[in-house]
Structure 1
Amino acid sequence: MLQRFAARAVVVGDRAGTVVPDAVLDVVDGVIGWVGPAADAPPLTEDAEVRSLPGVLVPGMVNTHSHAPMVLFRGQGEGLPLDRWLREVMWPREARLTPEDVEVAMTAASAEMLRHGVTTSVEMYFQPERIAAAVRATGARAVVANPLIGLPGFGTFDEQLATAVGLAGRSDAQVEFGIGPHSAYTVPLPVLRDAAVAAREHGMLLTVHVAETATEGDELLAQHGSSVPALLAAHDVLGGRVLGAHCVHMDDGDLELWREYDVAVAHCPGSNTKLASGTARLRDMLDLGIRVGMGTDGPASNDNLDLFEDLRLAAQLARLRERDATALTAPEAFWLATGAAAAAVGRDDLGQLTAGRRADLVHVDTEDIAFTPVGDVTDLLTHLVWSVGSRHVRDTWVAGRQLVRDGVSTTVDEAALRADVQTRAMRLAGR
Structure 2
Amino acid sequence: MPCDASCSVVRDAVVDVLADGRLGYVGPASNAPALPAGVPVRELSGILLPGLINTHAHSPMTVLRGMGGDLPLMSWLQDVIWPAEGRLDGDDVRAGMRLGALEMLRHGVTTSVEMYFYAEQMVEAVLEVGSRMVLTPAVIAAPGWDRLGSWLHMTDQISAWIDADGLRFGPGERIELGYGPHSAYTLPAEALPVVAAEAKQRGALLHIHVAESLAEDQHVREAHGSVPLLLNSLGVFGGRVLTAHSVHLSDVDIQLYAANGVGVAHCPGSNAKLASGTARLLDLRRHGVAVGLGTDGPASNDDLDLWEEIQLSAMLARLGSADAAALTAAQALLLATRGGASAIGRTDLGTLAPGYWADLVHIDLDDPAFAAGLDVPDPQLLSNLVWAAGSRRVRDVWVAGSAVVAAGNPPTSTAPPPPPRSARSLFFLLADA
Report if TM-score (shorter chain) is over 0.5.
Answer: yes
Give the letter for the 2:195 counterpart: A
Question: What's the CA shift for 1:70?
Answer: 0.3
Contact 2:217/2:248 (<8 A) preserved: no
Residue in structure 2 matched with residue 423 of structure 1 by the alignment: 424
Question: What's the CA shift for 1:43?
Answer: 1.1
Detail structure 1 runs of 4+ shifted over 4 Å in the superposition. none
Residue in structure 1 matched with residue 400 of structure 2 by the alignment: 399
The CA distance in 1 between the partners of 2:307 and 2:25, in whole Å, is 26
Question: What's the CA shift for 1:385?
Answer: 1.0
1:23 equivalenced with 2:13 (yes/no): yes
* Mapping of residues 296-307 of structure 1, within 5 Å: 296-307=295-306
Residue in structure 2 matched with residue 107 of structure 1 by the alignment: 98
Deviations 1:246-292 (A, max 9, x none): 00000101111111111000000110111011111101101100000
* Mapping of residues 31-430 of structure 1, within 5 Å: 31-150=22-141, 151-169=145-163, 170=165, 171-172=168-169, 173-222=173-222, 224-373=223-372, 374-410=375-411, 412-430=413-431
Question: What's the CA shift for 1:417?
Answer: 4.2
Deviations 1:16-67 (A, max 9, x none): 1111011111111211101112222211211211111121101001110000
The CA distance in 2 between the partners of 1:12 and 1:417, in whole Å, is 37
2:2 to 1, 8, 12: 12
Contact 1:232/1:238 (<8 A) preserved: yes
Q: Give unpaired runs (5+ residues) of structure 1.
A: 1-10
Contact 2:98/2:416 (<8 A) preserved: no
The CA distance in 1 between the partners of 2:413 and 2:93, in whole Å, is 16
The CA distance in 1 between the partners of 2:60 and 2:181, in whole Å, is 17
Contact 2:133/2:174 (<8 A) preserved: yes
Contact 1:365/1:393 (<8 A) preserved: yes
Contact 2:292/2:336 (<8 A) preserved: yes
The CA distance in 2 between the partners of 1:161 and 1:411, in whole Å, is 37
The CA distance in 2 between the partners of 1:414 and 1:424, in whole Å, is 20
Residue in structure 2 matched with residue 6 of structure 1 by the alignment: none
Q: Give unpaired runs (5+ residues) of structure 2.
A: none
Contact 1:103/1:130 (<8 A) preserved: yes
Structure 1-normalised TM-score?
Answer: 0.95
Identical columns (%): 47
* Cα-Cα RMSD: 1.3
Contact 1:241/1:346 (<8 A) preserved: yes
The CA distance in 1 between the partners of 2:48 and 2:109, in whole Å, is 13
Q: 1:293 to 1:427 in 2, by over 3 A?
A: same
Task: Name the SS for the 2:95 alignment partner.
Answer: helix
The CA distance in 2 between the partners of 1:430 and 1:376, in whole Å, is 55
Deviates more, 1:166-175 or 1:60-69: 166-175
The CA distance in 2 between the partners of 1:267 and 1:405, in whole Å, is 30
Contact 2:292/2:339 (<8 A) preserved: yes
Contact 1:213/1:249 (<8 A) preserved: yes
Q: 1:198 to 1:417 in 2, by over 3 A?
A: farther
The CA distance in 1 between the partners of 2:384 and 2:418, in whole Å, is 33
The CA distance in 1 between the partners of 2:24 and 2:355, in whole Å, is 6
The CA distance in 2 between the partners of 1:120 and 1:298, in whole Å, is 15
The CA distance in 1 between the partners of 2:418 and 2:335, in whole Å, is 30
Contact 1:108/1:417 (<8 A) preserved: no
The CA distance in 1 between the partners of 2:234 and 2:136, in whole Å, is 21
Deviates more, 1:270-279 or 1:213-222: 213-222
Aligned length: 420
Task: Name the SS for the 1:395 alignment partner.
Answer: strand
Give the letter for the 1:27 counterpart: V
Residue in structure 2 matched with residue 8 of structure 1 by the alignment: none
The CA distance in 2 between the partners of 1:244 and 1:174, in whole Å, is 22
Contact 2:263/2:290 (<8 A) preserved: yes
Question: What's the CA shift for 1:203?
Answer: 0.9
The CA distance in 1 between the partners of 2:189 and 2:362, in whole Å, is 45
Residue in structure 2 matched with residue 7 of structure 1 by the alignment: none
The CA distance in 2 between the partners of 1:364 and 1:188, in whole Å, is 47
Give the letter for the 2:162 counterpart: A
Give the letter for the 2:98 counterpart: T
The CA distance in 1 between the partners of 2:24 and 2:255, in whole Å, is 39
Give the letter for the 2:216 counterpart: E
Question: What's the CA shift for 1:423?
Answer: 2.1
Structure 2-normalised TM-score?
Answer: 0.94
The CA distance in 2 between the partners of 1:332 and 1:15, in whole Å, is 9
Task: Name the SS for the 1:158 alignment partner.
Answer: helix
The CA distance in 1 between the partners of 2:430 and 2:262, in whole Å, is 37
Q: 1:22 to 1:242 in 2, by over 3 A?
A: same
The CA distance in 1 between the partners of 2:350 and 2:221, in whole Å, is 38
Task: Name the SS for the 1:52 alignment partner.
Answer: coil
Question: What's the CA shift for 1:412?
Answer: 4.1
The CA distance in 2 between the partners of 1:55 and 1:192, in whole Å, is 47
The CA distance in 2 between the partners of 1:225 and 1:367, in whole Å, is 55
The CA distance in 2 between the partners of 1:380 and 1:164, in whole Å, is 44
The CA distance in 2 between the partners of 1:32 and 1:413, in whole Å, is 24
Question: What's the CA shift for 1:419?
Answer: 4.3
